[in-house]
A and B are shown apart, each in its own frame.
Chain A
Amino acid sequence: MSTDFTCNWEWIKLDVPHQIWEAQTADGIRAHTFLTRLFHNKFLFYPDNILRCYLSYLSPDFITGAFSFIGMVFFLAGVFYLVFNRRWLLLAVLLIVPLLPLFKIPNNISAEAVILYVVEGLVIIYAVWQLVYGIFKIFLPRK
């Protein structure tokens, strides 16, 4: 499991000005100022980068790196079952935990990692439980 949470707010704050500069420069000096400002501004670049970093902690490649390919499949199944069974609390927690490495809360990588991986692990366990329960249900007498 990686604790290399480099896609975070600190990095975004450093990189976004460069990204905007690069984009505005690519427009060229003869570009229409209105278009340059419309397409390359901090109101677009910050949300884009925040969303990118946020999703990187839920992305299949990140989950595979942490829990293996099988773990990733169960994670996706777990998310499906959370929505299907309306387990909104766990789903809400799952959606909140990527914010910890993103905004460096509590600014301790180990703590961020533990919380993130424990919650993602719980989703996997939930999927396994659903699977076992589904199989077990086949053998239960119908009421």
Chain B
Amino acid sequence: MNKTYGLLLGLTVLLAFILRIYKFTVNPPSLYWDEASIAYNAYSLLQTGKDEWGIAYPLTIKSFGDFKLPLYVYAVAVSEKVFGLKDFAVRFPSVLAGTATVALIFYLVRQLFPYRAKLALLSALFLAVSPWHIQFSRAGFEANLALFFLSMGILFFLLAVRENINYLFASAFSLVLCFYTYLSPAVTIPLVFLGLSMAYARKLLAAWKTVLVAILLAGILLWPYLQTYVFSPEGGSRFRAESVQQEPGDLLTNVVNNYVANFSSDYLFFKGDQEGRHSVKKIGELYIWQLPAVLAGAYLIFRRRGRGGLILILLILSAALPVALTRVSPHALRGLDSVIGWQILSAIGMVFLLSKFPLVSRPVFMVLFVFAFLVYLHIYFIHYPKAYAPDWQDGSKQLVSYLKRVQGNYGQIFITQDLNPVYLALYLPYDPLALQRSGHNLTRFLDKYYIVDFKTEPTRPRPLEKSLAITPSWMGIATKKELAPIRMVNGDIAFRVYEY
């Protein structure tokens, strides 16, 4: 790699980092409840060595009736050790993983397509500005860290078969970490690595002893994972709840429709994932200008049928499988592993188009690239926090901050069930040790706080003291004195506050 490419890669990674870290604690507007849960469990682990339920260094984190994989929580624990219990600490590991993935994709493409430094650079640039990847790199999504480990696993595998077989251990270790981070890659990894193994079967067979040791090592490291998530009824709870089997209608038809939905033009180029936390919803997961590049890239791959290209196609096709097997489709988060495949594919096509039609395609590409990027930034930084603040449970942090300030003035505080108690735990914050000792009994632990559903006026344990009632935005209590409501960043009311 010459100095120019080194410099350009450095600039690309810097751009990726800026795009991921700029105002990332305020946009997305708030920690959503999974992030809040991760933050509190990490805090609990840091303070006591146990999660909020009192389990020491768990391999599975109990949260909202399902079980989370632990690695991102541990990463946040390290981050909280450095930065303290802040929103910054929860999202920062994801920012780092996202930025590092941009750098990794450069080296990955150089291994997949040797002597194609320009292609590698373009792939890294496309990932750096990808709305799909930026969306998940700016918030505490485990899938983003898993994507980093998956990219590293593939890169080390290619280094192993191309340069030194001992890299296979690094590859196996990366993949084990990926398994411990997010569930979707558990479907993607076996298929991608089966393809990779078939593509490089001769080299792997020549070093079969090393391969065997690496597989055994990975098996040993994965054994606790398998026990927890494959062989135990608890581990499968999330999968069963989210399984495509829960959808009405014919199972096979549902699986096929879910699978194909990941390749719909609407999803990829125009509207994106329709879950507010997963995309800005006004543009696709890919930019529209990537459409001709994707088509050209796919055509070239099938025409040349090279090993690198086919691995890429396999990655894209297999990353859609976890989405096909679950309820909601298309799903940008569960299908995140394909993002690197799409970016490399469009980079292949773009390199071809730029070299084939230089006079037309270069200025057109430059204009479209810059304009589409500006449109995206405008939507992301101006529209998104206003339009989708409720998707991020915005208002919860503001409410708890308010309560923290005024709680001394009231004998009892009644709070709507619309506020998830995890926000009280995180932002007051609860002492993790005391919570564990209470047997995770929030009702007893909450002291003056009472979570109620306001069907009737709650009974006041200390009737002579002043009370505060926090209701949902749509609920008014005409007989009580209304104080200033709690607002989201877009100015909408999140909670109403009454004193009596």
* In the complex, per-residue mask of B356-399: 1 if CB is within 8 Å of any chain A CB, else 0: 00000000000000000011001000110011000000000000
Shortest beta-carbon distance from B390 to chain A in Å = 15
Chain A residues, CB < 8 A from B386: 26, 28
- Interface status of B257 (Cβ within 8 A of chain A): yes
Contact indicator A69/B382 (Cβ below 8 Å): no
Shortest beta-carbon distance from A78 to chain B in Å = 12
Contact indicator A60/B264 (Cβ below 8 Å): yes
* In the complex, per-residue mask of A58-85: 1 if CB is within 8 Å of any chain B CB, else 0: 1111101000010010000000100110
B231-257 interface (Cβ within 8 A of A): 256-257
Binds B, one of A48-56, A105-113, A123-131: A48-56
- Interface status of A27 (Cβ within 8 A of chain B): yes
Q: A69 to B320, alpha carbons, bound, how many Å? A: 15
B491 and chain A: residue at smallest CB distance? A28
- Interface status of A96 (Cβ within 8 A of chain B): no
Q: Known A58-B265, A83-B299; judge A64-B257 contact (CB<8 A).
A: yes
Shortest beta-carbon distance from B323 to chain A in Å = 13
From A28, A39, A58, contact of B375 by CB (8 A): A39
The DSSP consensus for interface residues of chain B is helix
Chain A residues, CB < 8 A from B223: none
Q: A83 to B298, alpha carbons, bound, how many Å? A: 12
Contact indicator B382/A59 (Cβ below 8 Å): no
- Interface status of B302 (Cβ within 8 A of chain A): yes
B20-51 interface (Cβ within 8 A of A): none
Contact indicator A61/B270 (Cβ below 8 Å): no
- Interface status of A138 (Cβ within 8 A of chain B): no
- Interface status of A14 (Cβ within 8 A of chain B): no
The DSSP consensus for interface residues of chain A is helix
- Interface status of B266 (Cβ within 8 A of chain A): yes
Size bracket, chain A contacts: 20 to 34
Chain B residues, CB < 8 A from A58: 265
Interface size in chain B (residues, C-beta < 8 A): 24
Q: A26 to B378, alpha carbons, bound, how many Å? A: 11
Q: Known A26-B387, A48-B288; judge A84-B264 contact (CB<8 A).
A: no
Chain A residues, CB < 8 A from B288: 48, 51
Q: A108 to B282, alpha carbons, bound, how many Å? A: 31
Chain A residues, CB < 8 A from B282: 23
- Interface status of B269 (Cβ within 8 A of chain A): yes
Contact indicator B260/A72 (Cβ below 8 Å): yes
- Interface status of A31 (Cβ within 8 A of chain B): yes
From A23, A26, A52, A69, contact of B260 by CB (8 A): A69
Chain A residues, CB < 8 A from B265: 52, 55-56, 58-59
From A26, A44, A48, contact of B383 by CB (8 A): A26
Q: A51 to B303, alpha carbons, bound, how many Å? A: 27
Chain B residues, CB < 8 A from A60: 260, 263-264
A31 and chain B: residue at smallest CB distance? B382
- Interface status of A132 (Cβ within 8 A of chain B): no
- Interface status of B310 (Cβ within 8 A of chain A): no
Shortest beta-carbon distance from B315 to chain A in Å = 17
Q: A114 to B386, alpha carbons, bound, how many Å? A: 45
Shortest beta-carbon distance from A129 to chain B in Å = 18
Contact indicator A23/B263 (Cβ below 8 Å): no
Shortest beta-carbon distance from A123 to chain B in Å = 15
Contact indicator A69/B266 (Cβ below 8 Å): no
Q: Known A39-B375, A64-B257; judge A27-B383 contact (CB<8 A).
A: yes
A60 and chain B: residue at smallest CB distance? B263
* In the complex, per-residue mask of B266-306: 1 if CB is within 8 Å of any chain A CB, else 0: 10011000000000001000001001000000010011000
Given contacts A28-B382, A62-B264, 13 further A-B contacts (CB under 8 A): A23-B282, A35-B378, A44-B375, A48-B270, A51-B270, A55-B266, A55-B270, A59-B263, A59-B265, A60-B263, A61-B260, A69-B259, A84-B303
Chain A residues packing against B (C-beta within 8 Å): 23, 26-28, 31, 35, 39, 44, 48, 51-52, 55-56, 58-62, 64, 69, 72, 80, 83-84
CB-defined A-B contacts under 8 Å, sample of 9: A23-B383, A26-B387, A48-B288, A51-B270, A55-B291, A56-B265, A59-B266, A60-B264, A62-B264
The 4 nearest A-B residue pairs measured at CB? A55-B265, A59-B265, A61-B264, A26-B383
